[in-house]
Chains A and B, each alone.
Chain A
Amino acid sequence: MSEVQAVSRRWRRPPVLIRNDFWRRAIYSGALLYLLLAIGTLEVDWQRAYEGLERGARFLQGFLTPDFTSRFDQIQRGMVESVTMTVCSTMVGILISVPIGLGAARNISPLPVYLVCRAIISVSRAFQEIIIAILFVAMFGFGAFAGFVTLSFATIGFLAKLLADDIEEIDPRQAEAVRGTGAGWWQVVNYGVQPQVMPRLIGLSLYRFDINFRESAVIGIVGAGGIGATLNTAMDRYDYSTASAILILIIIFVMLAEYSSGYIRKWIQ
């Protein structure tokens, strides 16, 4: 091979992500400039943060000695509220999501229905649970009911959107074949669409159950019931041992929900 040896040529690695020279420089220097500005305008009270470390140590201490018993009543009530809120809102959410999801699929719905359903989905997705919860607490008063309405509403945005996207991606030949037999709209949905999207709908519902539980632990902070409210109270009282007990419970419940829903999803498919 030495006889075909090329003359010394230099080689430099070509840029990895952005190959265009101008854009690469512009984006990198823009990012750097932003970072400098962001850090420069950061207002941090380091003195206060430093003092907080001692409190952090206390918190860590509290976290390592979780106290489930002294406020057991409140913890239990919060947990039961969270779980029941999750169950009810997921079920109601699914029941409402299915028709809206069908309506929001362009390939099986007429344009006006499609637009209305998509609008509902967009509204529900635009704001996160906590903001919706603020509004519903203002309307329904404090407590689990506002949380239930919040989570049901948020479930619609999630499930109906993914269901609709799923239906839009089905194999059109199967639905066409069913339509070709002279089937009506309901029959097309039942025979041509449902079998194709059902497994994913079940999977998504279980996944949403999971998310709803996590969220139920948060919306209590703005007064919508559940374990989040209990946690907030414990933090206000500087009762870190109870707070840590609640956090541990949340982690365990989330893991349980995640593993069991993952298990059921695998079992269904």
Chain B
Amino acid sequence: MLSIEALTKRYKTGDLALKDVSFSIERGQVVGLIGPSGAGKSTLIRCINRLVEPTAGAIRLSDVDIPKLGRTQLKTMRRRIGMIYQEYALVERLTVMENVLSGRLGYVSFWRSLSRRYAQKDVDKAFGLLERVGLSDHVDKRADELSGGQRQRVGIARALEQDPELLLVDEPTASLDPKTSRQIMRLICEICREHDLPAIINIHDVMLAQMFVDRVIGLTAGEVVFDGPPAELDHAALTRIYGEEDWREMRKAADEAAQDASDAAAFKAAEEERMAGTV
């Protein structure tokens, strides 16, 4: 489906962001891309739709080599790749519906998009998607009136409106609270399964990744250092990805969060018991 061979990216400043990255993804596979910040996760997925120009290597989606495409062909390719962003990247001052319909821009003519006269089937599809992500009541609201979780749902609907063959997801939960994060991750993964859609998800939260994805790729300083099912992601592998110290820190923070959660649950249970006792 998607195969990446010897992908290298060197920025103009001389920083080597990606070193010889190779892997391939099957139809319907959801891949979690983990690694410390600055490891090149964001660069990697932006190279795939060429928001960042790769320096060397091949990226093949259904046997089309993306880095070799000309401008017009690139546009046609981009509409086949949906993208979901960390800060939602919605056009804040357009309505929810316009944002979702903007997923069709690669398919429609300029005048049609300017006058907002989309084909009825595009509009139907948008309504369907908004219903799927639970935003049917917010169609004509402006995007900046929505909460973070709702905005990310619009972002998901926009990406799917493109009829994508591949989904690129850049830190979908980084600006969300833990509960919403889980909901959004579940939604993305469910949709991928419904459509048999492959996806690459950049994610810094290892636990969240393990919970939802089929396969994990660990990136450190631009190199792939782990590639396998989430179950194989053990202490040694994580140390390799994050480095001894950082991984310990992360785990401690996670443990504390879990402890807090269980403490809260215990407190609530005790409280309920006491209430029951007084009654």
Contacts and interface: CB of A to CB of B under 8 A. Distances in A.
B128 A11 contact: no
Interface string B93-131: 001011000000000000000001010100110111101
B2 interface: no
A6 B124 contact: yes
A41 interface: no
A269 interface: no
Contact of B128 (A1, A10, A13, A14): A1
A1 B124 CA distance: 12
A43 to B, nearest CB: 37
Interface string A1-33: 110111011111110000000000000000000
Interface size class of A (residues with CB under 8 A): 10 to 19
Contacts of B95: 13-14
12 contacts: A4-B131, A4-B132, A5-B124, A6-B124, A6-B128, A6-B131, A8-B120, A9-B124, A9-B127, A11-B127, A11-B139, A12-B116
Contacts, number: 36
Given A9-B124, A13-B116, 19 more contacts: A1-B128, A1-B129, A1-B132, A1-B194, A2-B128, A4-B131, A4-B132, A5-B128, A6-B127, A6-B128, A8-B120, A8-B124, A9-B123, A10-B120, A11-B97, A11-B123, A11-B127, A11-B139, A13-B98
B144 interface: no
B131 to A, nearest CB: 6
A13 B140 CA distance: 8
Which 8 residue pairs spanning A and B have beta carbons closest together?
A13-B116, A6-B127, A5-B128, A11-B123, A14-B140, A9-B127, A6-B128, A1-B132
A12 B98 CA distance: 10
A4 B160 CA distance: 15
Interface of B: 95, 97-98, 116, 118, 120, 123-124, 126-129, 131-132, 136, 139-140, 194-195
A14 B93 CA distance: 12
B120 to A, nearest CB: 6
Interface of A: 1-2, 4-6, 8-14
Contacts of B98: 13
A13 B124 CA distance: 15
A6 B131 CA distance: 8
A2 B126 CA distance: 12
Contacts of A9: 123-124, 127
Contacts of A11: 97, 118, 123, 126-127, 139
A1 B123 CA distance: 14
B116 to A, nearest CB: 4
Pick the most buried of A1, A2, A10: most chain B CB atoms within 10 A of its CB.
A1
Nearest to B122: A11
A19 to B, nearest CB: 10
A4 to B, nearest CB: 6
Nearest to B139: A11
A14 B138 CA distance: 13
A249 to B, nearest CB: 41
Pick the most buried of A6, A8, A9, A11: most chain B CB atoms within 10 A of its CB.
A11
A256 to B, nearest CB: 33
A148 to B, nearest CB: 48
A248 B149 CA distance: 57
A264 to B, nearest CB: 31
A3 to B, nearest CB: 10
Nearest to B125: A5
B18 to A, nearest CB: 34
A13 B129 CA distance: 18
A5 B131 CA distance: 8
A14 B95 CA distance: 8
